[in-house]
Amino acid sequence: MTLAVATDTVGAGERHFQLLALSVRIATDCPILDRKLEYLVQDARQDYPMTDEIRLEALRHADGYRICEAGGEPRIEADSSMALGRLHIRAYERAYEILPSTGLFLHAACGSYNGRRFLLLGDSGAGKTTLITQLLSLGALAEGDELALLEGDGLSALPRRFHIKSLGIGHFPWLRSQLHRLPCHDNGDGTSIYAFAPSDWGFPWHIRNAGVDAVLLLDPNHGGQSRIQEIPHHQMIQHAIAHLRPLDRGERSWIPALCRHFDRAFCGRLVLGSLDSAASLLISKLGDLPATG
């Protein structure tokens, strides 16, 4: 079954968006929660075919919010933040459930420049979100900032707003001047996370399901120089396997697909010094590669 693609706001209090193969609808009768849903909802155009749907309701209740799903037991959440968290978890949980078990998630940002598609592999804090957002402002197409699904012959960024930490927002004056437009999550420790959607700033946001031309392992070198050093494919696969999340932990049937994808790509370590120099180096390197489309 393939569902028609549509991403929009349906009537008052109902949000509709795509999460890979899943069509998600979330309805609420609460304007406060509806506004908070901006943090979760995105309008990325996605190539991944939708095959299933979920509809969640979050209705005001004497004790908070009543979260309902067809065929499931209602759950009560005490406030709008907890309700948002529950809706977030359930939507992504369901999206993962319907993906083929042979797939896997790579901890990587994804984008393309002049027809060359790239992955930026790295741990949390390595600079994936910062670099992909910087590249966006330099003319790249940014698809995702955190996870990429490798399944069959295609690789798709996980559709999610980019999570820019408040400590890193200073890198982007064009965002800093309009923070009021960014949905925000308060971490409760004086920091927060801004949920950025390229489309909100007029950038195209198209998540393709295709191969990659370059895989870069991010190696932070704060305050130092940036450089790109080519590394053997088998070493890059070793790094990737150390940082991936298979959908079925009982099998390793995804190894051949991972090897096929990486074998077609340039593999390198991107030592990330200053943001400007790293972005320039990457753009230059991508320009040297043959475009595979």
Partner 1 sequence: MTEYPRHVEGVEINQVADGYVVYHAARDRVHYLNQTATIVLELCNGKNDAAKIASLLQTAYELPDLPLEEVSGCLGQLRAEGLIA
Q: Verify binding: residue 233, partner 1, rule CB under 8 A.
A: yes
Which stretch, 49-57, 71-79, 105-113, 229-237, contacts partner 1 (CB under 8 A)? 229-237
Closest C-alpha to 253, from 137, 106, 101, 113: 101
- Residue 281 is given by DSSP the state H
Residue 138 or 255: the one with the smaller Cβ distance to partner 1 is 255
Cα–Cα distance, 279 to 216 (Å, whole number)? 12
Q: What are phi and psi of 149, to 5 degrees?
A: -90, 125
Residue 237 or 270: the one with the smaller Cβ distance to partner 1 is 237
Q: What are phi and psi of 281, to 5 degrees?
A: -60, -45
One of 241, 247, 283, 289 touching partner 1 (CB under 8 A): 241
Q: What is the DSSP string of 197-222?
A: -GGGGT---EE--B--SEEEEEEE-T
One of 10, 89, 255, 291 touching partner 1 (CB under 8 A): 255
Q: Verify binding: residue 234, partner 1, rule CB under 8 A.
A: yes
Beta bridge partners of 116: 113
Angle, in degrees to the nearest 10, between helices 255-263 and 233-242: 130
Place of tokens 């330099």: 138
Smallest distance from partner 1 to CB 239, Å? 10
Smallest distance from partner 1 to CB 231, Å? 9
Q: Apex CA 269: angle with CA 266 and CA 273, to 5°?
A: 130
Contacts of 170 (CB under 8 A, 6+ apart): 176
Q: What are phi and psi of 38, to 5 degrees?
A: -55, -30
Q: Verify binding: residue 235, partner 1, rule CB under 8 A.
A: yes
Q: Verify binding: residue 252, partner 1, rule CB under 8 A.
A: yes
Q: Verify binding: residue 256, partner 1, rule CB under 8 A.
A: yes
Which stretch, 121-129, 142-150, 184-192, 256-264, contacts partner 1 (CB under 8 A)? 256-264
Smallest distance from partner 1 to CB 194, Å? 38
Q: Verify binding: residue 290, partner 1, rule CB under 8 A.
A: no
One of 188, 202, 223, 232 touching partner 1 (CB under 8 A): 232
Q: Verify binding: residue 262, partner 1, rule CB under 8 A.
A: yes
One of 263, 276, 284, 287 touching partner 1 (CB under 8 A): 263
Cα–Cα distance, 79 to 81 (Å, whole number)? 6
Residue 106 or 258: the one with the smaller Cβ distance to partner 1 is 258
Contact between 54 and 26 (Cβ < 8 Å): no
Smallest distance from partner 1 to CB 223, Å? 32
Please give the residue ranges that form the binding site for partner 1 (CB under 8 A).
232-235, 237-238, 241, 252, 255-256, 258-259, 262-263
